[in-house]
Amino acid sequence: STTAGGVTPINKLIGDGVKFVSPPMFMPVNLAIADMCEQNKIMRVKSFGAGNVEVNPENPFMFFSCSGLGYMEHFYDYALAKYPDVKKIAVITPDDPGGATYQEMIKKIYAERGIEIVYWEVYPQPSFDFYSILNKALAAKPDAIEELYGIPPCSAALINQSRELGFTGPIFGSCTLGDPNIILSMLTPEYAYDMLSRVPDVNSDLMTDRVKKLGEKIKAAGASFELDSLHLLDACSAIIGAAKDAQSVDPEKLV
């Protein structure tokens, strides 16, 4: 989780002739290795991301296999059809380098749909005590709370505490709040209503055979099978799919 920690193995991989990398999830470390990877035409595929400083024309060998940028607008088409009375919203979202693109995008989405942001807070993560933030947010009388994205302990704490303080409106996670089964297990049961988050359920029967097989192996080993279990598989699956389509393992042809 340091830039030096990312640069050292990339130098070794370059020396070894490696051409495909699943890069660090933490955006600053991925940025630290970007120039070296691009100069050596190493294809990077990160399983989940948002930062437009990572994926752009200056970094043609860098990809996300999944990103909230592709579905946030569709999320709100669905959310506002389901909750048509939402006109005012409080945004309470974590401070994360990769989230800046999401934060700017959500402002645009709200403006286009006539939604007023009545409260905006970017909190240091991880945070687990949201009472002071929520007291200020709820004083602004929002119709809904938007978390944008998060990790389950933070996401669940915010949901629980907002309900404790009397908020009964919908709570959104238009990017993803983390594994849905884990979040539900952390919620006080009577508070688990009117939550809407775009997130795959990895235990769903709709998952691909590759995902199901991974789940069977992880569960057989006695470990938890959850959303984060799929990061590496998702990135590798994208690379494999591109290689099959290109009928090549030349990174330039895959790009």
Strands (E) in 3-143, as ranges, are: 20-21, 43-46, 62-64, 88-95, 116-124
Q: Which long-range contacts (CB under 8 A, 24 or more apart) does 188-194 make?
A: 188/160, 188/163, 190/163, 191/159, 191/160, 191/163, 191/164, 192/159, 194/83, 194/168, 194/169, 194/170
How many whole angstroms separate alpha carbon 4 and alpha carbon 101? 25
Average pLDDT over residues 143-148: 97
- Statement: residue 1 has pLDDT above 80: no
**pLDDT reported for residue 51:** 80
**pLDDT reported for residue 50:** 81
Band (114; pLDDT cuts 50, 70, 90): very high
Band (244; pLDDT cuts 50, 70, 90): very high
Q: Lowest mean pLDDT: which of 97-106, 132-141, 148-157, 177-186? A: 97-106
**pLDDT reported for residue 125:** 83
DSSP character for 194?
A: S
**pLDDT reported for residue 101:** 87
Hey, what are 173's tokens?
A: 């996670």
- Statement: residue 97 has pLDDT above 80: no
**pLDDT reported for residue 211:** 95
How many whole angstroms separate alpha carbon 29 and alpha carbon 105? 23
**pLDDT reported for residue 70:** 83
Hey, what are 93's tokens?
A: 């979202």
Provide the Cα torsion 103, 108, 111, 115; round to 10°.
-40
Hey, what are 4's tokens?
A: 């030096």
Each residue of 203-217: pLDDT tens digit? Answer: 999 999 999 999 999
How many whole angstroms separate alpha carbon 155 and alpha carbon 149? 8
**pLDDT reported for residue 99:** 82
**pLDDT reported for residue 43:** 97
